[in-house]
Amino acid sequence: MEEQRFLETILGFSKPWHIVSVVQADDKVEIKLDFPRGTRFVCPNCGKENTAYDTKWKKYRHLDLWQYQTFLQVRVPRIKCCKNKETVEVEWLRKGSKFTQMMEAHILEMAKSGSISKQAKILRITDTRMWRVILYNVNKSRSRLKEN
């Protein structure tokens, strides 16, 4: 149990998320995350709390743990609320991305260090996926500048 709490801490997860299983094969680690039945989640539109009516398992790339490529299998809940069905926003994931926010921050740091194709090889992702993260964040920054 101590190992599980240790992993949850270093990976940056907090309640209601908890590790269900950790499977290591070759150079990869897959960590399965879930939440307790009856957990209440906030509607991204109105802020009202609701319980999940269904879920969908999604896979995300996280920062490598030691030399292992790390993937998260997350049971992402959906709720019924003001605008019918809403997928819950998970604070450590960006909607539409296949990376955790920690991984995206690492990708942006690596992008400062040189050739994108070389950095992508080090991260063991495609340069196309790396460029998507970079361009999303550049466009987000430009939008903020236009607002001010």
Cross-strand bridge partners of residue 65: 68
Domain boundaries, the chain: 1-92, 94-148
Q: Give the HSE-up count for residue 60: Cα atoms under 13 Å, Cβ half-sphere.
A: 26
Tell whether omega for the bond before 44 is within 30 degrees of 0, i.e. cis: no
d(CA 103, CA 99): 6
Q: pTM of the full predicted structure?
A: 0.88
Phi, then psi, of 108 in degrees rounded to 5? -65, -40
Q: What is the DSSP string of 18-31?
A: EEEEEEEETTEEEE
pLDDT at 62: 96
Cα distance between residue 104 and residue 120, in whole Å: 12
pLDDT, mean of residues 78-103: 88
| Residue 133, token pair as written in the block | 């993260």
pLDDT tens-digit series, residues 3-54: 888 888 888 888 899 999 999 999 999 999 999 999 999 888 888 899 999 9
